[in-house]
Amino acid sequence: MVSFGHAAYFAAGGYTVAVLAQHGIDAALIAWPAAVVVAALLAAVVGALSLRTTGIFFIMITLAFAQMVFFALVAVKAWGGNDGLPLDARSVLPGIDLRNASVLYFVCLGLLVAFVALAAQLVESRFGMVLRGARSSERRTLALGFPTFRYKLIAFVVAGAGAGLSGALWAEYARFVSPDMASWTRSGEFLVMVILGGLGSLAGAVYGAAVLLGLESFLAGFTEHWMLPLGAILLVIVLFAKRGLYGWLAGTNDG
CA–CA dist 228, 219 (Å, integer): 9
Among 54, 100, 121, 223, binds another protein (CB under 8 A): 121
CA–CA dist 10, 5 (Å, integer): 9
Nearer to another protein, 103 or 153 (CB): 153
Nearer to another protein, 99 or 140 (CB): 140
Nearer to another protein, 98 or 119 (CB): 119
Q: How far is the CB of 121 from another protein (least distance, A)?
A: 6
Q: Is 39 helix (H, G, I), strand (E, B) or coil?
A: helix
Q: How far is the CB of 38 from another protein (least distance, A)?
A: 21
CA–CA dist 193, 211 (Å, integer): 8
Q: How far is the CB of 129 from another protein (least distance, A)?
A: 5
Q: Could you tell me if residue 91 is left (phi over 0), alpha (psi between -120 and 50 degrees) or otherwise beta?
A: beta
Q: How far is the CB of 125 from another protein (least distance, A)?
A: 5
Q: Which of residues 130-189 bind another protein (CB under 8 A)?
A: 130, 132-133, 136-137, 139-148, 151
CA–CA dist 62, 55 (Å, integer): 11
Nearer to another protein, 77 or 126 (CB): 126
How many residues line the site for another protein (CB under 8 A)?
A: 25
Candidate ranges 21-29, 45-53, 129-137, 212-220; the one touching another protein (CB under 8 A): 129-137
Q: How far is the CB of 65 from another protein (least distance, A)?
A: 26
| 127 is a site residue for another protein (CB under 8 A) | yes
Candidate ranges 30-38, 86-94, 106-114, 128-136; the one touching another protein (CB under 8 A): 128-136
| 53 is a site residue for another protein (CB under 8 A) | no
CA–CA dist 5, 45 (Å, integer): 13
Q: Which of these, 1, 2, 38, lies nearest to 171 by C-alpha position?
A: 38
CA–CA dist 36, 38 (Å, integer): 6
Strand partners, 177: 85
| 44 is a site residue for another protein (CB under 8 A) | no
Q: How far is the CB of 154 from another protein (least distance, A)?
A: 8
Buried b (16+ CB within 10 A) or exposed e, 182-209: bbbebbebbbbbbbbbbbebbbbbbbbb
Q: Which of residues 196-225 bind another protein (CB under 8 A)?
A: none
Buried b (16+ CB within 10 A) or exposed e, 105-139: eebbeebbeebeeebeeebeeeebebbebbeeeee
Q: Which residues bind another protein (CB under 8 A)?
A: 121-122, 124-130, 132-133, 136-137, 139-148, 151, 255
